[in-house]
Amino acid sequence: MALTSKIQTGEVVSDAQFRQFRIFNEVDLKRIRPLLNRCRKDLLKAGDVLLRPEFRNDCMYLLLSGRVAVSLESLDATPLVELGCGECIGEMSVFDGRNPSAYVKAIEQCEVVVIESDTLWQLIDSSHSLCRNLLYFLSNRLRSGNDIVAVSKSREKEQEQAANVDALTGVHNRRWLQEMMSVLKGHKLVESLPLAVLMLDVDHFKNFNDTYGHKSGDLVLQMVARTMRKSLRPSDMLARYGGEEFIVILPCTPAKQAKAVAERLRKAVAGCEITAEQGQDLPSVTISVGVAPLAEGESVEQMVEAADQALYLAKHNGRNRIELRS
């Protein structure tokens, strides 16, 4: 039994009440009145459950008054949609013989017309107009379902993208980098085409933060990320590695070209002006860069480690410079 509680009113459903529903548009009600007389009215209290996925449903319900909530995961989940007067409920499980796909619960007192499955099938056999209206209704219901799925997938994609983006700088984050490295490890092109990595670090960033404050430090990181993104090709992949450190993956890029890209980034960042939120000019910053082309027989992780070692050497040798892996 799908209903948790019900009150049968015993009242006959009038023609005017049936006309509230689109499925009865242009239907000769007089002709099918003997079948309609089998339908009954039930009253639901607020909180009563009309449909549950755990229970079989053998009726279509027409909502004469009140509102119901439709939820997918559980009765307590946020409703996917609310349905009001003039809506049909439960028709899909009658047609396909499967349990309902959602929970339907009364939000307030509702009055419903109950059409049992045998009666519904006889109504369909007896009225081409009713059959046509049901097809039209079901097509609209399916389209609405498709729209909901499309919106849901769009939100999932947005959430997935947000999970892979650094909130401060807007570039990819470490999580995305790890996924990309897994992809690169299994890609055959990595073995046949040149690949290089740049590891970049903002010079004296801790001193800058201590002197001008963390808000100004955030502005620096945003400026560095924005400047590098403008200076890279669409195929190049930029991510914040952590703190003031960034990483760039350069597909199809040999050592000489990778070093040229690094120099272009270094000059671009050094030439940028920085203005604090209060309007005062802040000193420019520089970056150190370690460059590591992928060596023969080397893994992607080993290439990144080599770039990190080259970055350490660049900082050790005076900063604001580029070092190629040894």
Choosing from 244, 245, 301, 323, which is the catalytic residue?
A: 244
* 42: nearest Cα among 72, 78, 16, 3: 3
Residues in the chain, how many? 326
Helix (H) and strand (E) counts in the chain: 11, 16
The DSSP secondary-structure symbol of 243 reads T
Q: Is 87 a catalytic residue?
A: no
C-alpha–C-alpha distance, residues 51 and 3, integer Å: 7
List, as one string, the DSSP characters of 148-210.
HHHHHHHHHHHHHHHHTB-TTTSSB-HHHHHHHHHHHHT-THHHHS-EEEEEEEETTHHHHHH
Rounded Cα distance between 19 and 35, Å, is: 15
> Whole-angstrom distance between the N-terminal and C-terminal Cα of the chain?
75
The catalytic residues are: 244
